[in-house]
Amino acid sequence: MKKEMVITAANRQYAEAYKKQFTSKDMLTALELYKEIVVSYPDSEEAGYSQSQIQNIIHDVVPKEVLYKAQLDMALKYAKHSDEPKTQPV
């Protein structure tokens, strides 16, 4: 028996984001839609797909030097704080 596809809100929004990314080449709107899927439907398959597409767009639109600097700055910030004792929230 053929498995019937269930169309969900996350699925519809993902299809719209994908269309914006690949047909319209509207990366800003695509990013916003993908981000909304990740926030609104975090446990959905579409959230995982959206995270991958966000990474793809980042690598397409942000120059490598800028990505490298941002990642290095973030790593330095986290490494600086990793030596601090970890406390449990009360």
End-to-end CA distance of the chain: 52
Q: How many residues does the chain have?
A: 90
Confidence of residue 76 (pLDDT cuts 50, 70, 90): very high
Residue 90's pLDDT band (cuts 50, 70, 90): very low
Match 């793809």 to its residue by tokens: 56
* Count of Cβ atoms closer than 10 Å to residue 41 Cβ: 18
Residue type, 46: E
Going by C-alpha positions, the residue among 31, 25, 29, 67 that lies closest to residue 50 is 31
Contact predicate 34/50, CB 8 Å: yes
DSSP per-residue letters across 18-34: HHIIIII--HHHHHHHH
Look at the pTM and tell me if it is higher than 0.75: yes
Where are the strands (E) in the chain, listed by range? Answer: none
The string of pLDDT tens digits covering residues 23-70 is: 999 999 999 999 999 999 999 999 999 999 999 999 999 999 999 999
Q: With cut-offs at 50, 70 and 90, classify the pLDDT of residue 3.
A: low
